[in-house]
Amino acid sequence: MKKIILTVAAVFAFGFANAQDAKSTANAGQTAKGKWLIEANTGFGAAHSADTSFGLNSVDGETTWSLGAEGGYFIMDDLAIKAGLGYVDLGDDVSAFSYKIGAKYYIISQIPVQLDYSGASVKDADENPSYLGIQGGYAIFLGQNVSIEPGLRFNKSLNEDFFDDVFQVRIGFALHF
């Protein structure tokens, strides 16, 4: 697990250091300094309590669902600081409000890599979950203001005694303005 996290961090750092001059001219406007980002993700895979995506999952007659959104501001070309909020219904009268804060970097203005911290306030829980998340994908720009970003996400639990790590396949929909 540590190797995966270190590898993604190394790719993120390498891309950040070397991609400044290799921008895609077709998409540089969407990820330019001063732009805003509003993003909604669909999460496929295991549901978890600190989720800011749209999801629906049913296993053995137990249905869980989530909804949320994220927003960000590009503090420099291709680098956005992001925050997100969500609500998760885990069934059996268990629900949670979730939050996320992190950074998203677009390598060559096309390959988004995100590192973030997420957590939740779970109704009537003795301990609340928190995760360190790593996400990567590919941005397909459909025009000046819209992108679709399929990708993979791994959430490393910071409360291993109570909560499991979560792997997700995601499709993100983003507005750039």
Domain holding 123, by residue range, is 2-176
Beta bridge partners of 96: 88, 122
pTM: 0.80
Read out DSSP for 55-123? EEEEETTEEEEEEEEEEEEEEETTEEEEEEEEEEEEETTEEEEEEEEEEEEEETTTEEEEEEEEEEEET
Average pLDDT over residues 41-49: 75
What CATH number should be reported for the domain holding residue 150?
A: 2.40.160.20
More reliable by pLDDT, 29 or 117: 117
Confidence of residue 113 (pLDDT cuts 50, 70, 90): very high
The pLDDT score that the predictor gives to residue 28 is: 63
- Residues 123-166 pLDDT 10s: 888 889 999 999 999 999 999 999 999 999 999 999 877 678 88
| C-alpha span between 14 and 9 (Å, rounded) | 9
Number of structural domains found in the chain: 1
